[in-house]
């Protein structure tokens, strides 16, 4: 098989080959339930990190309230599977519930997009923070869905293969978005918002699309999270959760999908590994919670762009955007112009 073939189909083949493993490995106990759980968390965290990276890393806006979007997705999806959908149809309607959660979160994202027209930077950070707090407060005051006690009764619908599929969908959509006209608009807002408008970018449109898309993804992750834990309460979605997302984004690398995957994976593994280590040496588990903020501080001081900041793995770049493809285009253009006068 030649290189062209692998370039085009290699990644898809690998992803297809892994898929049966995500069903079979947990099914036949080849990986134990704990590993299965950690893998699912990694997947959910990848979705969350991609979501936050779109806003904070690519667009250069600043959200510290993404746990709010996650909460909306989690609650909406859970309410649907527990109250509305017949139990037997649960597994089949699960994607519908997740999508509904994502859409609900997306609508909330629309609400955050509007203040971002006028304010940015730390002021927008406060807006998103207030949003996060309000969501939590509203959930605590809605007794019908459990109030501060939380909501339960969901079946364990979040399987490894579902997480796998949603991670692929997320990364695929995000990649398509980032490497498009809209994605370039997003980048231009990060670089220089005023110049962006002055080269014809409709900055409001870009902000709305990005916030809605990002919130949608966070909502999906929330739904998956809820159907893994089978229990959610408003305290699961505080600023602490948002901070975890920030750590993953700035650890892996801003403005990078590869970085998001890396950041989520490393962070999840480190936090879980720490659990075992602390247990072994007999230190209280509460010290785990000190690690994430400490990582965030050190990252900001020593490596503010993260491991993969502003760079991308080759396999995540669309084929036509890779260097050799651009070279080909360049040659064609040069040839077709022939002797036409060019500026020297």
Partner 1 sequence: MTLLYIERLSHNFGGLRAVQDFNLELQPGELVAIIGPNGAGKTTVFNLITGVYIPTEGRIKLNGEDLIGHKPHEIISRGIARTFQTIRLFKELTVLDNVRIAHYSRAGYSQWDALLRLPRFTGQEDRVRREALELLDIFGMADLAEATSKNLPYGQQRRLEIARALATRPSLLLLDEPAAGMNPAEVERLMETILWIRREFQLTILLIEHQMRVVMGIAERIKVLDFGQTIAEGTPTEIQNDPRVIEAYLGEEAA
Partner 2 sequence: MEFYIQQTLNALQVGSVYALIALGYTMVYGILTMINFAHGDIFMVSTYIAFFFSTMLLGALAGLNPILAFVATLLVAMFGTALLAVIIERLAYKPLRTAPRISAVITALGVGLFLENFMVAFKPVGPAPRFLPALIPAINYNIGGVTVSTIQIVIILVSALVMILLDVIVRRTMVGMAMRAISWDKFIVPLMGVPVDRIISLTFALGASIAAVGGTLYGMAYTIDPYMGIRIGWWAFISAVVGGIGNIRGAMIGGFILGFVEIFTPVFLPSTYRDFVAFSLLLVLLIFRPTGILGRPMAQKV
Report how far residue 267's alpha carbon sits from residue 293's, in angstroms, rounded to the nearest whole number.
12
For residue 156, the number of C-alpha atoms closer than 13 Å in the C-beta half-sphere is 9
Does the protein bind partner 2 through residue 289 (CB under 8 A)?
yes
DSSP reduced 3-state for 155: coil
> How many CB atoms sit inside 10 A of residue 256's CB?
27
161-40-101 Cα angle (round to 5): 80
Contact 97, 80 (CB under 8 A): yes
Report how far residue 232's alpha carbon sits from residue 18's, in angstroms, rounded to the nearest whole number.
30
Report how far residue 255's alpha carbon sits from residue 257's, in angstroms, rounded to the nearest whole number.
7
Structure tokens at 113: 């997009």
Q: Pick the binder of partner 2 from 40, 66, 136, 241 (CB under 8 A).
A: 136
Contact residues toward partner 1 (CB under 8 A) are 173, 176-177, 180-185, 187-188, 191-192, 194-204, 209, 310, 320, 323, 326, 329-330, 333-334, 337, 342-344
Does the protein bind partner 2 through residue 246 (CB under 8 A)?
yes
Does the protein bind partner 2 through residue 145 (CB under 8 A)?
no
Does the protein bind partner 2 through residue 197 (CB under 8 A)?
no
Does the protein bind partner 2 through residue 138 (CB under 8 A)?
yes
Taking CB within 5 to 8 Å according to partner kind, which of partner 2, partner 1, none is near residue 280?
none
Taking CB within 5 to 8 Å according to partner kind, which of partner 2, partner 1, none is near residue 300?
partner 2
Euclidean distance between the first and the last CA atom of the chain, given in angstroms as a whole number = 44
Report the residue number, 190 or 288, with the smaller CB distance to partner 1: 190
Q: Which stretch in 180-188, 269-277, 284-292, 333-341 sits in contact with partner 2 by CB under 8 A?
A: 284-292
DSSP reduced 3-state for 188: helix
Report the residue number, 84 or 289, with the smaller CB distance to partner 2: 289
CB of 117 to partner 2, least distance (A): 10
Does the protein bind partner 2 through residue 310 (CB under 8 A)?
no
Give the length of the chain.
Answer: 344
Contact 173, 212 (CB under 8 A): no
Q: Pick the binder of partner 2 from 13, 16, 240, 277 (CB under 8 A).
A: 240
213-218-219 Cα angle (round to 5): 95
The per-residue DSSP string of 312-327 comes to --GGGS-GGGSHHHHH
CB of 339 to partner 2, least distance (A): 43
Judged by CB under 8 A, the chain residues 11 through 30 that form the site for partner 2 are none
Taking CB within 5 to 8 Å according to partner kind, which of partner 2, partner 1, none is near residue 123?
partner 2
273-275-277 Cα angle (round to 5): 70
Judged by CB under 8 A, the number of residues near partner 2 is 41
CB of 112 to partner 2, least distance (A): 10
Judged by CB under 8 A, the chain residues 106 through 135 that form the site for partner 2 are 114-115, 118-119, 121-123, 125-127, 130-131, 133-134
Contact 159, 95 (CB under 8 A): no
Contact 65, 112 (CB under 8 A): yes
CB of 123 to partner 2, least distance (A): 6
CB of 113 to partner 2, least distance (A): 12
The contact set with partner 2 (CB under 8 A) reads 62, 64, 114-115, 118-119, 121-123, 125-127, 130-131, 133-134, 136-138, 140-141, 148, 194, 239-240, 243, 246, 250, 284, 286-287, 289-290, 292-294, 296-297, 300-301, 304
């Amino acid at each position: 098989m030649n290189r062209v073939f692998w370039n085009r189909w290699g990644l898809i083949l690998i992803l297809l080959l892994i898929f049966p493993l995500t069903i079979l490995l947990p099914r036949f106990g080849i990986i134990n339930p704990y590993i299965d759980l950690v893998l699912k968390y990694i997947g959910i965290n990848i979705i969350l990190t991609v979501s936050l990276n779109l806003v904070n890393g690519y667009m250069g806006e600043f959200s510290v309230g993404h746990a709010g979007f996650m909460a909306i997705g989690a609650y909406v999806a859970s309410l649907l599977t527990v109250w509305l959908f017949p139990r037997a149809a649960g597994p089949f309607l699960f994607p519908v519930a997740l999508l509904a959660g994502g859409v609900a979160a997306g609508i909330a994202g629309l609400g955050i997009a509007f203040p971002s027209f006028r304010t940015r930077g730390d002021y927008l950070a406060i807006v998103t923070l207030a949003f996060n707090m309000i969501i939590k407060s509203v959930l605590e005051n809605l007794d019908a869905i459990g109030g501060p006690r939380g909501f339960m009764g969901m079946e364990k619908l979040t399987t490894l293969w579902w997480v796998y599929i949603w991670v692929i969908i997320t990364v695929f959509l995000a990649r398509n978005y980032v490497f498009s006209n809209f994605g370039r608009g997003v980048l231009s807002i990060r670089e220089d918002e005023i110049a962006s408008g002055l080269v014809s970018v409709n900055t409001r449109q870009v902000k709305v699309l990005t916030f809605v898309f990002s919130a949608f993804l966070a909502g999906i992750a929330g739904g998956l999270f809820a159907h893994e834990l089978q229990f959610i309460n408003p305290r699961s979605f505080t600023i602490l959760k948002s901070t975890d997302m920030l750590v993953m984004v700035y650890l892996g690398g801003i403005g990078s999908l590869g970085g998001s995957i890396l950041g989520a994976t490393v962070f999840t593994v480190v936090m879980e590994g720490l659990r075992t280590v602390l247990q072994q040496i007999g230190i209280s588990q509460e010290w785990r919670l000190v690690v994430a903020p400490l990582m965030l501080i050190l990252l900001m001081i020593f490596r503010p762009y993260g491991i993969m900041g502003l760079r991308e793995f080759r396999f995540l770049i669309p084929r036509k955007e890779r260097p050799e493809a651009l070279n080909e285009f360049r040659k064609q253009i040069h040839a077709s112009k022939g002797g036409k006068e060019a500026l020297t």
